Amino acid sequence: MNGPAEAVATVRIAVVHPWLPKYRVKFFELLRRRGAEIGIEFVIFYGDAPPEWRARGDTSVATWATALRTRFLTFRGRTLILKSLRPITRSGPYDLIIVEQAVRNLETFRLIIQSTPIAFWGHGATYTKQVGRVQEAVKQWLTGRGCWFLAYTRGGGDAVTRAGFPAARVTVLNNASDTAALSVDLASITPAEISHFVKTYDLRGKTALFLGGLDEPKRIPFLLHSAAMASALDPDFRLLIAGNGSERATVEEACRTNPAVHYLGSVFGTEKALALRGAEVIAMPGRVGLVAVDSFAAGTPIVTTNWPWHAPEFEYLEAARNAIVTRDDEATYASELVKILNDASRLSGLAAECLEARERYSIQLMVENFVAGVRHFSEAGTR
């Protein structure tokens, strides 16, 4: 990221993010820094966390970003979002406004009737839930009003082009989190710290770690039922659960009834690194998203299922190479957890492949891809 002295901004880009989760802060910091080096000013705006994510407790604030007043509306059981555009209008003009590809962001419909070009970033396809034909049609119509698309993954970019969006105006980001910082934290963990952690939770070299939000998409009941089966199959099996969310009470109750399950609470920084160092695998029977890049950074393979509603980053996993993907039932999942935890040779091979994959997915590469997309947009607009 080292570059020349900051150039005078010749392009101004507004990026409107749904809210500001902790995992996006470093990305935006690096994006703004990289943009300043090459004459692109990135101005960041964000709304309030949607109700379904608030219990995770992972929202942030930043002096370099502007919060937008946000209203949440309910229509036929669905939550719609309306963010104020006033701070964006007042701080403009912008050469491009980049918004999330989501039908429920009502302010996007206002933006598309204005003269400023709009670009979308997001999944590209509807990965994480089943939607009706009308909603999908509206999403594709909305996407078609954009002048560029920044897709999280290759699969999302391909889906956009199959729906008719010009391939020449699609940039694949390879969505990532700050694995560089995680790698530093992992390297800082001492043998004494690992030993203390192992003794604290009575770990016996057959430990699975859940890492993420404790809410419906992560399938916490499935995880806990599978853990009970796994501990019955192997008394040395342990499950560590790290995170927070609406199903925390369910997790805490499981800890009281199953001594093989331990709740760590929310973990960040070196606490997260220590949890990863203490586990042999990451257990994610529900939605796999950016935890995939955590897995690669730590060399800790994911064990998941072929559940159909994973996030785009599930594409990074290669079954039987850098991850285990089982049939979608609790007994099979429990059996496969125990099997891999008792197969040191296979586990070592999976871990090595994870470490190899980490070179392909980083927040630094994501920033470069994002900037490249904006530059291509600017160049296309002058032809």
147 and 165 belong to one structural domain: yes
What pLDDT score does 8 carry? Answer: 59
187 and 255 belong to one structural domain: yes
264 and 344 belong to one structural domain: yes
What pLDDT score does 134 carry? Answer: 83
Mean pLDDT of the chain, nearest integer: 94
pLDDT reading at 123 higher than 80: yes
pLDDT reading at 383 higher than 50: no
66 and 156 belong to one structural domain: yes
368 and 306 belong to one structural domain: no
| CA nearest to 338, candidates 250, 194, 239 | 239
Going by their DSSP bridges, the two strands 148-151 and 170-172 should be labelled as parallel
For residue 162, being part of any structural domain is answered with yes
Question: pTM value?
Answer: 0.92
Give the pLDDT confidence of 268-284 residue by residue, as tens digits: 999 999 999 999 999 99
Give the pLDDT confidence of 232-254 residue by residue, as tens digits: 999 999 999 999 999 999 999 99
What pLDDT score does 382 carry? Answer: 46
| CA nearest to 316, candidates 217, 176, 178, 179 | 176
Q: Which domain holds residue 206?
A: 179-360
What is d(CA 289, CA 175) in angstroms, rounded to the nearest whole number? Answer: 9
Q: Report residue 321's pLDDT band, with 50, 70 and 90 as the boundaries.
A: very high
264 and 369 belong to one structural domain: no
Q: What is the mean pLDDT of residues 134-159?
A: 93
pLDDT reading at 83 higher than 80: yes
pLDDT reading at 1 higher than 50: no
Q: Which residue has the tokens 């997915």?
A: 361
Q: Is 207 helix (H, G, I), strand (E, B) or coil?
A: strand
Q: Which residues pair with 113 in a beta bridge?
A: none
